Amino acid sequence: MLQINKETSGKGLVYKLSGRLDTITSPDLEKELKASMDGIESLELDLDKLEYISSAGLRVLLSAHKVMSKQGSMKVTHVNSTISEIFEVTGFSDILVIE
């Protein structure tokens, strides 16, 4: 299960994710992002409550990162130790802006 909470403020967009971002749930996030990213200049993904992220989830973050690097910026925040280790292992810590 994945819960996606969305907060918009002008050209900024904040998503709070909780649960598991895996093969089954990542299409939901991908769809949501695709529908909302138009004209957004700053995207923040708050991963505080995210329990797990699989390679399918990483792919969604990567494609969001690619889109945002053209039209603004994207950062991930409140990365907990589990997710941080996955970012470390997969080398995503070198790609994403993590705060």
Q: Where do contacts with other proteins occur on this chain (CB under 8 A)?
A: 22-23, 52, 54-56, 58-59, 62-63, 66, 88-92, 94-95
Judged by beta carbon, residue 54 or residue 71, the one nearer other proteins is: 54
Residue with tokens 């589990």: 82
CB of 23 to other proteins, least distance (A): 6
Give a three-class secondary structure readout of the chain. Answer: CEEEEEEEECCEEEEEEEEEECCCCHHHHHHHHHHHCCCCCEEEEEEEEEEEECHHHHHHHHHHHHHHHHHCEEEEECCCHHHHHHHHHHCHHHCCCEC
Judged by beta carbon, residue 4 or residue 52, the one nearer other proteins is: 52
Judged by beta carbon, residue 11 or residue 49, the one nearer other proteins is: 49
CB of 7 to other proteins, least distance (A): 26
CB of 53 to other proteins, least distance (A): 11
